Amino acid sequence: MPKGLMLELKGVSHCTASPLSPSPLKKRSFLSNELHAAVELPRPQTTLNCPAPSNRLQLFRLEKRKSYRKQAEKIRRDQLSSCMFEVRQLLPQKYQATNLSKEATVAAAYACIVELKEEEDRKTQIVKDLEAQLYAEILLRLHEA
């Protein structure tokens, strides 16, 4: 005989009964606000014992921490999705598709950034060349005068 029986209240598991429990595990159902006869349920394969009072506090804290982490992770995912949406909106038309995945969005953003950097380098070189021509022309005019 197992150490205890798993008690169920409306389908939610609770703590176990002691081995000295006089009645086997029973589940009650409600239909039209009438209590029907109890139905015998099979004994569970594994049993859980009620936690000691100090363990209950630890379990409460653990559940609270899990809940907090779950909420924090959801906020992180929502922020990431929001940022991905904003990045998609900033991409030039040639990089945009109807439904870019996160990976495709990052790859398109990278390609766009590389292209912009190359364009900046080309324009910087053009400006340097024009400045050099201007200084050369100024020096030539000063030398002639």
pLDDT in tens, 16-64: 444 444 444 444 444 434 444 444 555 555 555 555 557 888 888 899 9
With cut-offs at 50, 70 and 90, classify the pLDDT of residue 100. confident
Task: Give the whole-angstrom CA distance, residue 83 versus residue 77.
Answer: 10
Confidence at residue 58, expressed as pLDDT on a 0 to 100 scale? 86
More confidently predicted of 23 and 140: 140
What is the residue whose two structure tokens read 């209240």?
9
Q: Are 92 and 115 in contact (CB under 8 A)?
A: no
Among 2, 37, 36, smallest CA distance to 18 is for 2
Query: In the prediction, which pLDDT does 23 show?
Result: 44
Mean per-residue pLDDT, 118-124: 97
Mean pLDDT (the chain, rounded): 74
Helix (H) / strand (E) containing 143: helix 102-144
Shortest CA distance to 24 belongs to which of 10, 11, 6? 6
- Residue 38: the pLDDT is 46
Looking at residues 115-130, what average pLDDT do you find?
96
Phi and psi angles of residue 97, each rounded to the nearest 5 degrees, phi first: -125, 170
pLDDT at residue 126 greater than cutoff 60: yes
Q: Which pair of structure tokens corresponds to residue 40? A: 């015998």
Q: Are 19 and 3 in contact (CB under 8 A)?
A: yes
Using alpha carbons, list the distances in angstroms from residue 139 to 86, 132, 133.
50, 11, 10
Query: Across residues 63-76, what is the average pLDDT?
Result: 93
Please say whether the beta carbons of 112 and 91 come within 8 A.
Answer: yes
Give the tokens for residue 102: 């996160």
